[in-house]
Amino acid sequence: MNKSLVLATVIAAAALVACGKKEEAPVAAPAPAVVEAVKDAGTAAAVATDAAAAATTAASDATGAAQAATGAAAVAVDAAGDAAKAAVTEAAKAAEAPKK
């Protein structure tokens, strides 16, 4: 009887262990749509990087153009000031000429 009880206990324990084991689910391969989406995301990132580089270049060019325009405006202001001074000098000479 003791042997039967021990044998029954061992069989019950083995059954519990066997029933408690869960096999790991196989890892599913990524879906082709996901793989394509990742490739598309990589391509989009590359395009965005190129666009950002182009925008940086355009901004740099615009800054250079603005600086050139500022320089040209300063030259124009100086020229206008010189022309105004010359006009005042000529007007003063013209105003004094009849007095002589």
Given a cut of 70, whether residue 22 has pLDDT beyond it is no
Given a cut of 60, whether residue 100 has pLDDT beyond it is no
d(CA 47, CA 40): 10
Q: What percent of the chain has pLDDT over 70?
A: 80
pLDDT at position 52 is 93
Tell me: the pLDDT tens digits for 34-79?
677 878 888 899 999 999 999 999 999 999 999 999 999 999 999 9
Q: Where are the domains of the chain?
A: 30-99
Residue type (1 letter), 17: V
Q: 37-40 long-range CB contacts below 8 Å, 24 or more apart?
A: none
pTM for the full predicted model? 0.45
